[in-house]
Each structure stands twice: as C-alpha cells, then as structure tokens.
Chain A
Amino acid sequence: MSIPPEFDSSDRSHGSATRREALKTLGLAASVGVPLLAPMIATGSAAAQTADDYKAIVCVGQYGGNDQSNSVIPRSGAGYSSYQSARPTLAIPAANILPVTPTGFTGPELGFSPSLPGLRTLFEQGRCAVLANVGPLVEPITRAQWQAGTKPVPRQLFSHSDQFTIWESGLPDRTSQSGWLGRLGDVTAGAFNPNSQVSITMSIAGTTLILAGEQTIQYQVSPGGVVRVQDLTSLYGSAAGGAAVRQLLTQSRANLFESGFTTICSRAISNAGLVESALAAQPALTTAFPGTPLGAQARMVARMIGTRNQVAQKRQVFFISSGGWDTHNTLIEEHPGRLQELDGAISALYAATAEMGVANNVTIFTASEFGRCLQHNGRGSDHGWGGHHFIVGGAVQGRRIYGSWPTVALGGAEDAGNGALIPTTALDEYGATLARWFGASTAQQNTVMPNLSRFSRPNLGFLG
C-alpha cells in the first residue's frame, strides 16, 4: 500500500525505470467526465466573484488509514490513562505529547503527536483546526444501532480500496463515477474559470476518483513538472520523426473518432506548453519544502497556485497524497515518520501561500480511508472507521476542535469494536463545509455531496 520513494519524474529518457512514479498503489485509477471546452453558465452564488476572489482547496490523502489515536491525544489525567491502558505498547509518553489549547473545548486536555510540531504551531496560531471523528456514513448511526445492525453502513467497511474510494466519491451507499471534489469543480468551473483551458481540478498524485467530475476531467502534473509528449521534437534521434509525431497527433481528420482523438492530443500538447511556460515564469519561492515525496507534491501545488493568473483560474482544486499509513505492526517505527512528512509538507505549503500573499485564499485538508482501532495488537493497530483530520489555512477558524470528540477508551460511546470509531461527523458535512467556502451554493453543496440532507450540519463552521 505504500507509495514507493522514487519520485524523479524529470527523467524522461526512453526506458528509464524511474519514470514510473508508481502512484498506482491502490486501485484508484478513475477517469471520467469531459473536458472543459465550453464555459458553463454561471449559476447561483458561484457567480459572485471579484477581481481578487481567488480560492484553492488542497486535499492531502493519507493512503493506508491514519492512526488517529496517536495523532491527537488526551495528554493528562483520566483521558491519558484510558488511552495508555488501551494501547500500552503504542502509547506516546505523556511528557512527549505537544500540548494544544483549543478554545471553547470542554473535553480532555489534548496534545498532538511529537511528530506534528508544525501543525501544533499553526493550531496555536489559529491557522489549523481539528475535525474529530469524521468518516463516511450512509446516515447517522448510534452504537446501539451499529451493534443491532439496524442501520445501513458504508459498503466494505474496513477495506482499504473500497473505503478510500468512498472518501473520494462521497457516496458510501452506491457506486459512483465521480468524486466530490470533481463535482465541486463541475459546479464552480464555469462561473469562476470561464476562460481557462486547464481543468479546475489538478492532481499531483496520479489519477484519482476524487477529482473526477461528471464533466470535469482532472489535469495531471507530476511533482517534477508538466508531463509532455516526449518525442515531439525528436523521435529516436530524428527531427523528421518528431515532426511526424506532431503531425499525426494533431492533424485534423474527417472521421469523428480520429478527429476526437487528435483534438485531445492537441489540447494536451498545448496545455503542457501553457502550464510549463507559466511555471517557468514564476519567481522562485523562498519557502523551503522538505525533500520528501509529499513535500515535492506540496511544492508543485504552491507553484501551480503561482500560475493562477496565467492559466486564468480563480478557483483551483488540488490533490496530493502520501502512502505508508497502514501501520498494522509498524506503528511505533513508521507512524512518526509519516506524520513528520505530513507535518513538514503542510507547514511548508502554508508558509508558501503566505509568501505569495494568498494564505487566506488556500485551505488545506487531510483525508484517509479510515482511522484505526484504539486497541493495540502489540506493534500496531488495525483498520478502523472514523478518524481525526486537520484543516489548515488563513481562512480556517483555527485553534478549535470541531465535530464531537470521542471517548478515547475501549467500549466507549463510539466504539464499533476494538476501539474503531463510529463516526459522529459525516464526510458529507466535511466536504459540504469546504464546498460552501469555495463558493458552492446550498443547491450546489447537495450536488457535491448528494446525501448531505441526511445529516444536520451542512456547515461545520471551521471556515466561518
């Protein structure tokens, strides 16, 4: 499940093994929708834009299922004791937990993992919020209803690929060809990016369902830059061969299917040139990014944000991801490193948005297919359900815990078994809150999250 470390996409030479960045670790390949050729009619609140009305959303995927219990932790008293007794071999010593001081919070004293110093600082500065125990739900469900089996629950709970697919589709009770950020693109692109030739949704981490709309087709950039057709100027050392490649891929044809193919190839070549030029025109960022795979992806997000005017976009949706979160028996050894990678990448991306003067215009949030069981299995924890997530940005009403803080103890009110959390906040509410900030109207929120009406909070408040 982990994403291999090689990320050097700049090596375009024939036959290079390093080209295959291998972001395919899960069966997430999905690609649907249609390109944004014709601007859509502006509708609803999305039409209300101003000259400096720029917004971006960045989804940070954590493939494998983040262990929420060792991420945000009760740090003192009975809360810590329950945590410690449920996972004695995994518990972080209380003295090492980084204290946080959420406002308006009546639960136990909390802290962050010692591997999250950057997010802790942002939290204390009011730039980071925690959404507690969020996950996919078909409809609200209590522990009693879960145990009795009287309420529908997401399909294939506790299965990696199925649950990440649900996090992407936002539809736990049916199959979907589109993802919720893609649908957010569907309802906002026409209003905000009417003249852009580049898709509103952009992945730095391979093809993802979450960015696929009913109309929106995600644009893909690698962490190293734009992927171009490599043989346009020279094929096997021959310029004439390169010219033939260009001619064959871009010529107009009488047959509609041939013409459709060459039209898309032409747009691919032209957009690669456009984006590459726009990237090259950006001043260098002084913000340093960690030399990790996620850091490289976050850096490319920052650079793409820098191109927003050249590519005529008032709205951008990005997806980046890291792997290695499936810590069944490696929690102690590997989870701190995964958190450090996350912490460093998000902190740097926030700093870069501040450097570019758009800190209040960019919201970063995390997603993972599930949380993990509180109960330990010796060296790790097993697949769970609900988890805690971070939202970072200048627009975030931070230093707060949103949602409902769960009982961190086995047999608690949210315990689905072994300390897996029955979510008390629905993914639908999480997504709808982000969509609302991004410019979606109430009706459009329901397009983005079709099951939203089953839940009570279309705005969780972390973005005002």
Chain B
Amino acid sequence: MASTGFPAWIDAQFATARPGTHWAFPQRATEPVFSAAESFWTQAVRGADQLRQRVAFALSEIFVVSATSGELSVLAEPNVAYMDMLANNAFGNFRTLLEGVARAPAMGWFLSHLANEKEDPVTGRIPDQNFAREVMQLFTIGLWELNADGSRRLDGGGQPIPTYGQAEIAGMSRVFTGLSWAQNWWGPYDWNLPMNYYPQYVSGSEKRIVGGVVIPANTSGPESVRIALDTLFNHPNTGPFIGEQLIKRLVTSNPSRAYVGRVAAAFANNGAGVRGDMRALIRAVLMDPEARDPAKLQDPNWGKLREPILRISAWARAFNAQNSAGRLSFWGYDDPFDNLAQLALRPPSVFNWFRPDYSPPGSIRASGLVAPEFQITHESSTTGYANFVGDVVSTGFDVRFFHPDNPPIVGTYTAELALADQPDALLDRLDLVLMAGQLSAGTRATIRTAIDAIPTTATDASQRRVQTAVALCMMSPDFVVQK
C-alpha cells in the first residue's frame, strides 16, 4: 500500500474480483446454517478483496437480516444468498443495492414482506408494515429530516421534523405487497433469486408515501416499488444518513458535520453527475482529510471501538488461522461466559448488535459522543474477550463443541517465533501485522517487560514469549480501539 498510495490501493481493490460466491461454498448443502458463517469467515479472512469484504460487512450491519429468525436460523441458503447480494452491490450504485435488499427473499422472510398480501376491506386485514417501516427508518432516510451535513433540520419552534408518519407507513406497506418467491407465490424457496410480483396480491390502492409522493391507484407492483425506492433513493436524507453510518462502521464513531457533509455530497454526485455511486461514497469516507489527518491520532474524541468480529478477523488474518483441515469453521464464539457477545450472522434484531447513536454512560456520554460498539461492551463480554484471547492465542479456537469432528482453529506464528529472542523486532512486527501501527510507547513497554520476564532459557521460551506478546497486544486498548 505504501508503494502505491492509498487512493491507488482503493482503486485496485475496486477492481479485485470476489474470491467466489458464498452460494458456492462447498459445505452449503451438508452443513446448514453453520456453513454460511464459515463462508463469511473464509472470505473475510482470506479474500484478496478486503475492501469489498469490509464494506459488505458494514452493509450487513445496516441492512440487517439475522440468522436467528425462522428459516434463516436453520438454512445456509438465505444467509449466503443475502451476503452475496450485499457483496455484489458493494461497489455498484446504492439504488441497485436498495432494490436488491427490498427483493431479497431473506429480507422478505426476516421483515415479513414475503408473501405479503394486499389489504382486504371485507375482513379489515391490512398489509404487514414491518419492512415498510424499516426500509425508511433504518435503510434510507431515518426518523428525522436531515440537513446535508447529517444534522437534524428544525422547525420554526426549534423541534426536529419527522420524516414520515403512520399514514406514510401504511402507504409504504401497500407498496410492498404481492412480492413472493421467484417462481410461485408459495415457493419453491428460491433463496438465490429476487422475489417476484404477483398481481393478484398487489394492492391497487392509492399509496401516499414520503415527501408527499402519491402512487396512483391501480399502479402495478413493479412500478409501485420503483417509485417508492426512487423516492427513498432521491430523498435528501439518504446521502447523509447512509454516509454517516458508513463512516461510523469504517472510520470513526464521531465524524464532524463537515466530514459527513463531504461524504453526503459524494453520494449526491460522484463528480460525473451520478447519484448513489458506492465507489465515490466509499472513496469519500476513506479519503476524507479528517480520516487521513495524523493529528487525529492524538485527539481523545477520535476513533471507534473495534467490534469483536473485527478483532477476531484481525487475528485470523495476521496469523493465517485455520484448523488442520484448512477450514475456518468459527461458530459459537459468543458464549457469554467466555466470549464476545457477537456471533457472525446473528445480530439480535434488525437493529443490529448496536445502534449508530448508542452512547454509553460515563465520560463518552458526558462528552456528547456516541460509541455504538459499546452497546455490546459490558462486564461479561470484556471478561469473555480477555479469556478468549488467552485461549485462542495459545490453544486456538476450540470449535469441538459445535463441530465435534473439527480440530481447533489455530494461528501460525512462524515469523514471530523467529523473533522470540528480539522483543523489539517482535513488537515491531506485531505492530505492523496486527496493530496497524498504533502500538503506543507505554503499551509497548508494558508488553516488553512481560516478554523479558520469560528467560530465553525457560521451557518453551520462544513459544511463551511470542504468545505473551500476541495476547497482550490483543488485550491492549491500543488494539481494541481503532484510531
């Protein structure tokens, strides 16, 4: 990266092909939902398309489906198909991504607009409003009208202005009727194909949606959805709303309003008059002067907690972790007594593991800042993390409980073991491969003391010195917080 520069690296990443689809993961059919998690980890750890992997994971935390619900908790197919959809659209256009989200069977299942029938005036039944609500609240415009820099617009009385009300939810719920499985209303369950329209179940009512848009009566299903998604895509909130969340997922928890404004401007226009260009959006997030400012490293308000999945993937990438069969069958590491409170593919709800505006009590809240990842950072998960690190560095990730036939996932420390007698060189290497150069002098001294306390003549000295160094790096706040 240093030789090509960051912008060139980003361009090269945009051009890097996916390592393959999740759908093609070999164990998809034989190891149901577990294999979807393994496919996630395999691509996240080994993919050459690291930027796409990272962005796709971020998108999965915005456009949430969870393998805790119904068929998604059992089958691999809905999960891998949905991950493919996100990855395939990560570098495209937001409008296409939004269409993919809205028509994904996994989303239809999770937010119940799959096989959602039009209203029935005779019985009084109304369409399901689940997806209708979340596509606005969580996936595009949010609850409050925003300025171009993401701050809330205020009315004449100084109050924030809601983006929609119950009438718009009802209207939007009628838009998302008549969608079901690709081939037939009741199936087969084609998880890998977009949901299709079934005119007999599409509401023919007039649909009032956000921004005063009215979809006339007797508009077809596809046309209603097109108008609705175009309306959300073109809403002034969508750029700052999505842009701010991507900054929080990728860079820092508390971007300045100006930073959000610059990112939102890139969403609005990629420089060639195109709205919603994801490459322009991602470039703006990563290359913003605020994101690249070295002085920010000293700013006490800068940075973000690295969520547990990203800590594990950092370890697994740095040390080429795998089991003796060459697999990354991570599953079950969220045991709250030992582990991390974050199990891949299984956020507790459509609200993800944490909300973008979560602010923990104490000095962070007192400073008026947010720290989303702290929503899953508590006594149990911090204890679990420290114990997880102690175990995983020495004996690997023991998956036998969930995969009785699988050996543990272990890291390879060959390069580090060669430096076991040279603690400074060892720490330099760990600073490079694990710590993104953020190992502070104080933490380095603490770890150095611990390494030195193990005499080079002791039993298993090299191994213990390396394990000590790696584990302490991973427990350090320098690693846990990305700056």
Chain B contributes a number of interface residues (CB within 8 A of A) equal to: 87
Q: Are B381 and A31 in contact (CB under 8 A)?
A: yes
Question: How many Å lie between the Cα of A398 and that of B401 in the bound state?
Answer: 42
Q: Are A15 and B391 in contact (CB under 8 A)?
A: yes
Query: B151: which A residues are within 8 A, CB to CB?
Result: none
Query: A17: which B residues are within 8 A, CB to CB?
Result: 398, 400-401
Most central of B334, B343, B390, B478 by chain A CB within 10 Å:
B390
What mask results when residues 240 to 283 of chain A are scored 1 for a CB within 8 Å of chain B, else 0?
11011101110101111111111111011101100000000000
Q: Are B380 and A220 in contact (CB under 8 A)?
A: yes
Question: How many Å lie between the Cα of A27 and that of B353 in the bound state?
Answer: 12
Q: Are B398 and A235 in contact (CB under 8 A)?
A: no
Interface assignment of B467: CB less than 8 Å from any CB of chain A: yes
Known interface pairs A161-B73, A162-B70, A258-B480; A149-B125 also in contact (CB < 8 Å): yes
Known interface pairs A17-B401, A245-B386, A264-B382; A29-B346 also in contact (CB < 8 Å): yes
Q: Are A209 and B348 in contact (CB under 8 A)?
A: yes
Known interface pairs A31-B341, A150-B125, A156-B112; A24-B332 also in contact (CB < 8 Å): yes
Question: How many Å lie between the Cα of A177 and that of B356 in the bound state?
Answer: 13
Interface assignment of A328: CB less than 8 Å from any CB of chain B: no
Whole-angstrom distance from the CB of B88 to the nearest CB of chain A? 26
B369 to chain A: closest residue by CB: A256
Question: How many Å lie between the Cα of A56 and that of B349 in the bound state?
Answer: 29
Q: Are B390 and A231 in contact (CB under 8 A)?
A: yes
What mask results when residues 124 to 146 of chain B are scored 1 for a CB within 8 Å of chain A, else 0?
11000010000000000000000
Q: Are A255 and B481 in contact (CB under 8 A)?
A: yes
Q: Are B400 and A240 in contact (CB under 8 A)?
A: no
Known interface pairs A156-B112, A229-B387; A236-B361 also in contact (CB < 8 Å): no
What mask results when residues 1 to 43 of chain A are scored 1 for a CB within 8 Å of chain B, else 0?
0001000010010111101111110111111111101100000
Interface assignment of A175: CB less than 8 Å from any CB of chain B: yes
Interface assignment of B322: CB less than 8 Å from any CB of chain A: no
Q: Are A271 and B343 in contact (CB under 8 A)?
A: no
Give the size category of A's interface with B. 35 or more
Q: Are A261 and B481 in contact (CB under 8 A)?
A: yes
A37 to chain B: closest residue by CB: B361
Of B19-27, B172-180, B199-207, B444-452, the one touching chain A: B444-452
Interface assignment of B376: CB less than 8 Å from any CB of chain A: yes
Q: Are B341 and A248 in contact (CB under 8 A)?
A: no
Whole-angstrom distance from the CB of B256 to the nearest CB of chain A? 16
Known interface pairs A175-B349, A261-B477; A256-B390 also in contact (CB < 8 Å): no
Interface assignment of A329: CB less than 8 Å from any CB of chain B: no
Additional pairs, 8, CB under 8 Å, beyond known A17-B400, A207-B334, A261-B305: A15-B395, A22-B332, A165-B348, A220-B337, A236-B394, A236-B468, A240-B452, A261-B477
Residues of chain A at the chain B interface (Cβ within 8 Å): 4, 9, 12, 14-17, 19-24, 26-35, 37-38, 148-150, 155-156, 159, 161-162, 165, 175-177, 203, 206-207, 209, 215, 217-220, 222, 227-231, 235-241, 243-245, 247-249, 251, 253-265, 267-269, 271-272
